[in-house]
Structure 1
Amino acid sequence: MAKATPKRPTRDEFELEELGNQLVEAKDDGDERSLIVWGMPEKVRGRITVLDSRTRLVHVDDNGVTRKIPFLDIMKVNFE
């Protein structure tokens, strides 16, 4: 039998809107943030440079290395 993979936690519209607002604020401030991302064992740290509404990816730059993270995989934004 195939092993069941854990599913991403579901969040309501209010939680997603609040997360979106935090990401927009982080992008506008240009400050470094840490993101808790579903399925990743460690936090992702860096500056949010692009919020791509078409692909639903958040571009995070950490010392010149850009990671593209799906919006729905981001669980929390921390101000560190």
Structure 2
Amino acid sequence: MAAKTKTPTKKKEPKHLDRDEFDLEEIAYTLTESMKENKVCAYTIYKHDELLEGTVVKMDANTKLIHIKDRYMGIHKIHFLDILKVSDVD
């Protein structure tokens, strides 16, 4: 019987970045506040080159998707773990 040789596997890039609990809580708090106040914010998103500007219209706890409406009324569904930073728009 021939021995099986193991083929080298490529390391997969992580789907989401690992961050500590404090960062995640801070982002969750900021998202909740911006949704309550209907405030336009700029969102830095993992693996996206440009900032997304808009307002949070819905936060789905089951799917962990954040629904952000941009200035053109388009809805972007972003996974919570993909949001790296939330900042105010000047």
Q: TM-score, normalised by structure 1?
A: 0.89
Unaligned regions of 5+ residues in structure 2, if any?
A: 1-7
Number of matched pairs: 80
Q: Where does the alignment leave 5 or more consecutive residues of structure 1 unmatched?
A: none
* SS at structure 2 position matched to 1:14: helix
Name the counterpart of 1:44. Answer: 52
TM-aligned CA deviation for residue 3 of structure 1: 5.9
**Moved beyond 4 Å, runs of 4+:** 1-5
Separation in 2, partners of 1:50, 1:60: 7
Amino acid at match of 2:17: P
Q: Give how far 1:2 is off.
A: 6.8
Choose from 58, 79, 84 the match for 1:70. Answer: 79
Q: TM-score with structure 2 length normalisation?
A: 0.80
| Structure richer in strand, relative to its length | 1
% identity of equivalent residues: 31
**Aligned residues: CA RMSD:** 1.5
